[in-house]
Amino acid sequence: MRYEAPNTLEQAIALLSGANGRARVLAGGTDLLIQMRSGRTDPELLVDIKAIPELTTLAAEVGGYRVGAAITCMELIENAAFALAWPGIVDGVKYIGSIQVKGRATMGGNLCNASPAADSVPALIAAGALVCIAGPQGRREVPIEAFVAGPGKTTLAGGELVASFLLPRRSPRSGDAYLRFTPRTEMDIAVVGAAVNLTLDNKGVCSHARVSLGAVAARALLVPEAGAALIGTRIDAAALAKLAAAASAACKPIDDKRGTKEFRIKVAGVMARRAAAIAMERAGRHS
Amino acid sequence: MARIALSSSLAPYTDGVLELELEVANVRQLFQALGERYPELRSHLEAGIAVAIDNEIYQDALLQPIDRDSEVILITKIAGG
Amino acid sequence: MARNHVSATVNGDQVEFLCETGQTLLDVLRDELRLTGTKEGCGTGDCGACSVMVDGRLVCSCLMLAVEAEGKAIQTIEGMSAGEALHPLQRKFVEHAALQCGICTPGILIAARALLARNPDPSEAEVRFWLAGNLCRCTGYHKIVDAVLDAAREMRGA
Amino acid sequence: MSTMLKYQEKELKIVGTRPLRPDGVDKVTGRARFGADYNLPGQLIGKVLRSPHAHARIKSIDTSAALALPGVKAVVTREDFAEMPDEMAAVGELMINFRDVTRNMMAREKVLYDGHPLAAVAAVSESVARAALALIKVEYEILPHVIDVVAAMKAGAPLLNEKQYTAGVKPKPDHPSNVAKRLEYGHGDLAAGFKQAEVIIEREFNTKPVHQGYIEPQACLASYSADGQAELWTSTQGHFVFRAQCAKVLQMEVSRIRVTPTEIGGGFGGKNNIYNEPLAIALSRKSNRPVKMVTTREEVFRGTGPTPGANVKVKIGCTRDGKITAAEAELNFQAGAFPGSPVNQASMCAFTRYDLANVRVVGHDVTVNRPKVAAYRAPGAPIAVFGVESVIDEMAKKLGMDPIDFRLKNAAKEGTQTYYGPKLGPVGYVQTLEAARAHPHYRAPLGPNQGRGVATGFWFNIGNETTCSLNLQEDGTLTLMLGTIDVAGGSRASMAMMVAEELGVEFERVRPIVGDTSSLGFNFLTAGSRSTFASGMACVIAARQMIEKLRQRVAKIREVPAEAVAWKDGRAQPADAGVAQFAPMTLAEIARMGGKTGGTIAGHAEINAQGAGPGFGAHIVDVEVDKQTGAVKILRYTVVQDVGKAIHPAYVEGQMQGGAAQGIGWALNEEYVYGDDGILQNPGFLDYRIPVASDLPRIDTVIVEVPNPNHPYGVRGCGEVPIIPPMAAIANAIENATGLRLREQPFSPPRVLKAIDDAAAAKG
């Protein structure tokens, strides 16, 4: 198995396309190395993208943020401005593995591993993030909710890689939040994850809301009905109850070693409601 | 004659007899006497049985003396983890 | 099987080694550089016994390829004391009986030092959540947390 | 000779204080060497091929392609190990069937569980060894499997061993069964007892298999030389027992194997058994090179010995004023692939905390397609006690009695006749219960959705064979060679403390180490909470033997009668004014003259320690239940335990806290999850959830000291009792918080939420 560490995007793309599918991108490696050790993947070439400046840059752009795909979780958590703008996305990043794992793991890797329970993806969906992809045919941008195809499968074509995420401008009185349910307080895979991103108008009425759920279907879901339950309301108990019901209704979960169908359906509503309450509280504070 | 009592877990090997009196001076003689009287008990005796003599438990103590008026109880050995 | 040539610094010393692409940093530290203080408890980043510092960042050395260490500065448990002088955390762990079997202790000490470097006065909850990535099966964590808080007090001269 | 040294109350200078352990600095600097830290020049790496099936007949194993792979130096399979007779053999102070040991180590006719070893290779590197495993061709005939213990007991269940008939049943059954053994304990008239009872509660409980969870996977290094001598470095709880078992399966003389124990990264009973050790020695013999074998975490979960999963039925009757009149239990324990679950110990300590006239406990040891179970800290007791202490809690609530008062009313005391044999000697259960009741935690206020639970535990503790040597060095310092493995890291210090106390010298002048199997006579495993009791007794005997020799030597040097010489405050000095006076001599002065006055001085002990004193514990736990998700949070935890005498209080507290933490994991989230295909689904620390630091509160400890009369310092074993109460205490706390009685372990969020929903639905 060969290892290459190109310092330009073009070199990386050339290496990936030239390996006819036998190459894997190495960012943090905290999922890839586990799969290599268990024999689930046996690449001939690893393309380490951490030396490519664009992929490790976090910059304000068009009022929003462009977040390099290879920035580590700890670097994101420690970026005060980003954490102020998108506390919900940072909630998700904070849940990924241990402090040690977050010292290496990246949002790009978390997304491309394509686990339905990925902790950083629901908040990115709720935020309306775009995935910026580079490949042999140039660049393209995809709404993140459409990026993952199913467990372990993305919509990347041969030779393509995720370069960055583009987050829209934050209007005033906006707030987002992500919560997940796990049996332990840390070091767990989400049994259910829920992200809410909302904006209040100057009279405190919800003018915009996106809700996303993780670990309750083959991939993280955008749940329009759940968002709709909040829009036009003061996010009172009735609205939150409608949100919870919509969230539970959207679940298409499986029974597995981490939880039963009934459990995921019920707890999805609970997590969505609790996340909405936190998002509202944050929106109130965000002028 | 020491009074010998067997714990009920040994009943299957002694046709249900759980109490008897034997003229024995130490644990080894006790096991020999029991082995002759109940052959099925023999395989369990030497390594698998602990002995409580007047309520002090002795494990693997073949030479431990048994007095004339001692009360002896046979129990299965205890291991730990 | 072509091997990669890597040069890096470990506990301040310049090192060079050859490694297969698939070899982890943990494998090289233990099997090539004979630094066996860093331990493998799981090989999947779930137990923290392999914690080391890479360029000042706390990581699991079992989830990092050795070839990725090119040009990096690595700190392991072997570098935590300066000659005879133990680091306050090392002293407090022995004083508080904050270890029993000791297999998790190197990883926990490295993680605890990284915590105190960024937060000299952590609360008990902050210590417990920071150390959640370091599993211990013997102690129930009580004396570990006491030892970290006590070391923090001494280090900030409280 | 069996040995019992009586307790003498005396003023102590060192025992009971908190000196720093001598091996602590090595462990905090990374210098301490565990199993995987040993290497030899020219060593090969050994890897094991494991069954991917839960139950299959092995039709053929073809290793030719593997052997032909460049870099592969040796391969072993069932052909390389002798067949062993199907009988119980006394080896290493244990009763073992080596037909089973040799089959568990390397499958012969059948593979009996997912992860069962069936071949092993030694190669120049790990990657070559892994590639060689993939080249071994095995032809399987897949068989139906069974894992659940109740299903395995039914007629017609798939049989693991067609030649296994239930032992302990008269007349002998006419058909084979997965039930390897039936046992029964009890006394009194059960029917009469239940007739007397005004309140009767009968419940059924089920638990899943859990793993010891030691953070260090098993690891060993073997070197066999052509002259038939073998050296073995391994992480073990008993190097003498490992030597005995390896010699037996490899048909070698015991003294030809020298086992050096490495530092051990946790065991809890799981490292009482040999796994790779004989394979490594056999591979080293075939390749004539050292072989190192380190198991992965996945192999530890699939291939070593977790506890049984179990089905427990408990029925208790009592009078209106809370006196228990009858108690009955049936314990059905998984043994895994081969007989040998701890159903015997569990049956003996299910009810032993209580003074009961009418008791019956029936136990079944049941083989199922799972790894052969190994001991796990008070093996079997937490499972039986989960049932018994839950029913007792329900009973106290039904009578409107305080749970501790109900237990005090029936508590076992000195003289209580146990239902498995002897009467109890002096024990501290009543004192432990009273200390728990008096603790501020027991009356602290509780918030909404919060509840408090209490439960108690008993463990026998054992003595067994122990040897040690104490040598006086030229400068008057001492080296103490111990034979019992220091698993929890505190026993070396405790032994040195007892020796220092006996000799009247500072603790730091006694240097304790654990010797290898060629340095001392046979020592039993460190298990059964025995080391501080048995090894401590041996150290005291060795110290007293040394003092005797010192007195004789000084008498000669000072030319006074031996009776004139007394040993006090670390010196030989005149016994009193009435004897021949002489200038006192310190240890250093005697040591300097040792060579010229007859040779160096040492004390030894080779004993089979008797008189182990049972330990009792009482736990109080507060939980908060999130009724919307079923999550159970541990808010507060207090452990109260009678340890006879805490030699080093910090290490005793560590045992109490560590045992409670394992019990909490056992109660809340730990379980083996099997698919319908019999394959283990969570062989890793991600999905096998042991508690992390942020899951647990502080675990407060209260040490009760009711001295054990059969130990010079009154020591009772303290390592195993603390794991027994937590499962029951947490179930009782959840009931106190929600009114729901959970009887299926673990009390994971899906189970708790389902119980909450079912109860709400039932109310309609």
Of D31, D217, D694, nearest to C129 by CB-CB distance is D694
Quick one: pLDDT at residue D378? 96
**pLDDT mean across residues, chain A:** 96
Instruction: Name residue, tokens 């179970």.
Output: D373
Closest CA–CA distance from residue B80 to any residue of chain D (Å): 4
pLDDT of A103 above 60? yes
Instruction: Give the end of a domain, one of A149, A167, A185.
Output: A167
Half-sphere exposure in the Cβ direction for D231 (13 Å, CA): 14
Residue D618 and residue D749 in one domain: yes
pLDDT of A258 above 90? no
Count of structural domains, chain D = 2
Region C141-153: mean pLDDT is: 98
Write the burial class of residue C2 (CB in 10 Å: 0-12 exposed, 13-18 middle, 19+ buried): exposed
Share of chain D above pLDDT 90, in %: 94
pLDDT of B46 above 70? no
Query: Do residues A212 and A123 touch, judged by C-beta distance below 8 A?
Result: yes
Instruction: Give the end of a domain, one of A104, A133, A167.
Output: A167
Share of chain A above pLDDT 90, in %: 94
Task: Give the model confidence (pLDDT) of D490-499 as tens digits.
Answer: 999 999 999 9
Region D97-119: mean pLDDT is: 97
d(CA D313, CA D630): 26
Region D556-570: mean pLDDT is: 95
Quick one: pLDDT at residue C91? 98
Count of structural domains, chain B = 1
Per the domain annotation, does B81 fall within a domain? no
Chain centroid offset of residue D182 CA? 23
Q: Considering only residues 513 to 552 of chain D, which have any Cβ-Cβ distance to chain C shorter than 8 Å?
A: none
Residue A10 and residue A143 in one domain: yes
C117 in reach of chain D (CB within 8 A): no
Q: Which residues of D82-97 are buried (b: 16+ CB within 10 A; e: fewer)?
A: eebeeebbebbbbbbb
Contact at CB, B59 and D608, closer than 8 angstroms:
yes
The fold adopted by the segment(s) C88-155 is DNA polymerase; domain 1 (1.10.150)
Closest CA–CA distance from residue D678 to any residue of chain A (Å): 14
d(CA D596, CA D409): 66
Query: Do residues D101 and D242 touch, judged by C-beta distance below 8 A?
Result: no
Contact at CB, A26 and C58, closer than 8 angstroms:
no
Region C83-103: mean pLDDT is: 96
Contact at CB, C132 and A48, closer than 8 angstroms:
no
pLDDT classification of C158: cutoffs 50, 70, 90: confident
State whether the Cα torsion C80-D218-C94-D512 is positive or negative. negative
Per the domain annotation, does A74 fall within a domain? yes
Task: Give the model confidence (pLDDT) of D280-336 as tens digits.
Answer: 999 999 999 999 999 999 999 999 989 999 999 999 999 999 999 999 999 999 999
Residue A216 and residue A250 in one domain: yes
Instruction: Give the end of a domain, one of D551, D574, D609.
Output: D609
Contact at CB, D345 and B64, closer than 8 angstroms:
no
Task: Give the model confidence (pLDDT) of A160-212 as tens digits.
Answer: 999 999 999 999 999 999 999 999 999 999 999 999 999 999 999 999 999 99
Region B14-26: mean pLDDT is: 89
Q: Of D389, D692, D577, D729, nearest to A187 (Cα)?
A: D692
Q: Is the pTM of this model over 0.95?
A: yes
Closest CA–CA distance from residue A287 to any residue of chain D (Å): 33
Contact at CB, B56 and D168, closer than 8 angstroms:
no
Closest CA–CA distance from residue C2 to any residue of chain D (Å): 14
Instruction: Give the end of a domain, one of D590, D609, D628.
Output: D609
Query: Do residues D180 and D167 touch, judged by C-beta distance below 8 A?
Result: yes
Alpha helices by DSSP H, listed for D338-428, are 343-349, 381-399, 403-409
pLDDT of D1 above 70? no
d(CA A195, CA A87): 11
Identify the H or E element spanning D568. Answer: strand D565-568
Q: What share of chain A is helix, strand, coil (3-state, %, to 5)?
A: 35, 25, 35
- Which domain covers residue D704, as residue numbers? 438-453+614-763
A81 in reach of chain C (CB within 8 A): no
CB contacts, 8 Å: D610 with chain B: 56-59, 61
pLDDT classification of C1: cutoffs 50, 70, 90: low
DSSP C91-104: HHHHHTT--SS-SS
3-state secondary structure of C109: helix
CB contacts, 8 Å: A258 with chain D: 687
pLDDT classification of D212: cutoffs 50, 70, 90: very high
Of D629, D673, D750, nearest to A270 by CB-CB distance is D629
Residue D734 and residue D716 in one domain: yes
pLDDT classification of B47: cutoffs 50, 70, 90: low
Task: Give the model confidence (pLDDT) of D371-401 as tens digits.
Answer: 999 999 999 999 999 999 999 999 999 999 9
Region C118-127: mean pLDDT is: 98
Per the domain annotation, does A228 fall within a domain? yes
Residue A59 and residue A184 in one domain: no
Region A250-258: mean pLDDT is: 91
D621 in reach of chain C (CB within 8 A): no
> Which chains have at least 3 CB atom pairs separated by less than 8 Å from chain B?
D
Quick one: pLDDT at residue A143? 98
3-state secondary structure of D694: helix
Per the domain annotation, does A46 fall within a domain? no
Kindly indicate whether the domain formed by C4-79 is annotated with CATH number 3.30.565.10.
no
pLDDT classification of B80: cutoffs 50, 70, 90: low
Nearest residue in A to C3, CA atom: A2
3-state secondary structure of D454: strand
List the structure tokens of D608. Answer: 């089979």
- Which domain covers residue A248, as residue numbers? 174-285
Contact at CB, D673 and A257, closer than 8 angstroms:
yes
Question: Is chain B in touch with chain C: ≥3 Cβ pairs within 8 A?
Answer: no
Quick one: pLDDT at residue B81? 59
CATH of the domain at B45: 3.10.20.30
DSSP D715-752: ----SSGGGSSHHHHHHHHHHHHHS----BSS--HHHH
Distance in Å from the first CA to the final CA of chain C: 55
Count of structural domains, chain A = 2
Contact at CB, D185 and B63, closer than 8 angstroms:
no
Per the domain annotation, does D13 fall within a domain? yes
Nearest residue in D to A180, CA atom: D629
Nearest residue in C to A72, CA atom: C57
Per the domain annotation, does D473 fall within a domain? yes
Q: Considering only residues 680 to 699 of chain D, which have any Cβ-Cβ distance to chain C shorter than 8 Å?
A: 684-686, 690-694, 696, 698-699
Of C2, C68, C70, nearest to A2 by CB-CB distance is C2
Query: Do residues D642 and D432 touch, judged by C-beta distance below 8 A?
Result: yes
Identify the H or E element spanning A32. Answer: helix A32-38
Residue A85 neighbours by CB distance under 10 Å: 20
User: Which of C25, C63, C116 has the most A C-beta neighbours within 10 Å, making it the best mutation to test the interface with A?
Assistant: C63
pLDDT classification of B55: cutoffs 50, 70, 90: confident
C71 in reach of chain D (CB within 8 A): no
Please confirm whether the linkage preceding D171 is cis (ω < 30° from 0).
yes
Per the domain annotation, does A66 fall within a domain? yes
Residues in contact with D324: Cβ distance below 8 Å, sequence separation at least 6, in sequence order:
D316, D317, D318, D354, D356, D410
Query: Do residues D613 and D422 touch, judged by C-beta distance below 8 A?
Result: no
Contact at CB, D681 and A257, closer than 8 angstroms:
yes
Task: Give the model confidence (pLDDT) of D164-209 as tens digits.
Answer: 999 988 888 999 999 999 999 999 999 999 999 999 999 999 999 9
Instruction: Give the end of a domain, one of D578, D609, D640.
Output: D609
- Which domain covers residue B31, as residue numbers? 2-76
Q: Where are the beta strands (DSSP E) in chain C?
A: 4-10, 13-19, 51-54, 57-60, 73-75
